[in-house]
Amino acid sequence: MRALDHPSQESISLPAVLAALSDPARLDVVRQLAASGGVVCGQFDALEHVSMSTLSHHLKVLRTAGVIHVEQRGKFRQHELRADDLESRFPGVLASVVATFGLDLPTSAQRAEPVLSR
Amino acid sequence: MRALDHPSQESISLPAVLAALSDPARLDVVRQLAASGGVVCGQFDALEHVSMSTLSHHLKVLRTAGVIHVEQRGKFRQHELRADDLESRFPGVLASVVATFGLDLPTSAQRAEPVLSR
C-alpha cells in the first residue's frame, strides 16, 4: 500500500493552510481532532450535510495543505493534527483557530506518554 | 455617494475571514496595511501580477469578509484593517497571520492620537 503524500514542514504554505481551514466542514474535522487530543482513528462523527465522499475530499484538502497527517493502520486510517509542524512554521495560526472552539491545540508534550518516576 | 457594505462585528464569520486571507495577493494587502499602522489612503503598492481590477476584487473580498473597512475620502478610498473587531471576535487569528510577516497587529490604542499632558 502506497503511503499518502504529505508536504514537508518547510513546504507548508500559509495561503494553502488558510484555504484548507476556510470551510465549515473542514473546521469541524479540525475541532474534532483538537477535542480528541490531536488524533482520530477511523471515523469522524457525522458532519452535517456531508457525504462520505465529500468528507474524503475535505480530509485530502487538509492533508495536502499540511494541516493533518493521515496514515493507514490496518483497516483504519489514523488522522493526526500537524500541530507541532504548523506551530513551528506559523506560530499561533492553528492555535487561534482551535481556540475559537474553546479548545487548546494538542502539543506533542501533551500527547507523549507520561514519564514515570521510580 | 452610497456607503460601502460591511458586515457588523457579530456577523463576521471565521470561514469567510480565513477564505479572504487564503490568497497571496490579499495577504500582501493585509501586510501593507499592518506595515502602515492599519490604514492606507489611496493606492496600495503594486502587487505582483495583479491588475487594478483584480486588486479591486481582492479589496472587495477583504471588505465583505470583515477584514478591512473601506471609506471614500474625497478622491481617495481609505482602507483600514478591522483589527479590533477581528481580535474581539477571533482573538489571535489575524494577529498570528500578521506575525508571519514579522509585524504586529496595529491596535486602536496605537492608532489613537497621543494625549498631551499639560
Grid cell for residue A112: 507523549
B97 and A93 within 8 Å at the Cβ level: the answer is yes
Q: What is the DSSP letter of A94?
A: H
Q: What type of residue sits at position A26? A: R
In the structure, what pLDDT confidence band is assigned to residue B115 with cuts at 50, 70 and 90?
low
- A15, A23, A91 member nearest B15 (Cβ): A23
Q: Given this model, what pLDDT does residue A66 score? A: 98
Would you say residue A18 has pLDDT above 70?
yes
Q: CA A118, CA B18: separation in Å to the nearest integer?
A: 48
How sure is the predictor about B106, in pLDDT bands with cuts at 50, 70 and 90? confident
Q: How confident is the model at residue A10 (pLDDT cuts 50, 70, 90)?
A: very high
The fraction of chain A above a pLDDT of 70, given in percent, is 89
List CB contacts (< 8 A) between A30 and chain B: none
CB contact under 8 A, A27 and B19: no
Distance of CA A14 to the CA centre of its chain: 15
Residue pLDDT, tens place only, A32-79: 999 988 888 877 877 767 888 899 999 999 999 999 999 988 888 899
Mutate to test the interface with A, among B61, B93, B98, B103 (most CBs of A within 10 A): B93
CB contact under 8 A, A92 and B90: no
Residue A77: what pLDDT?
87
Please tell me which of the candidates A22, A90, A99 has its beta carbon nearest to residue B22.
Answer: A22
Residue A27 has pLDDT above 80, yes or no: yes
Per-residue confidence (pLDDT) for residue A44, from 0 to 100? 82
| Among the listed residues B7, B46, B51, the one whose alpha carbon sits nearest the alpha carbon of residue B28 | B46
Average pLDDT value for residue range A4-26: 96
Tell me: pLDDT of B25 over 80.
Answer: yes
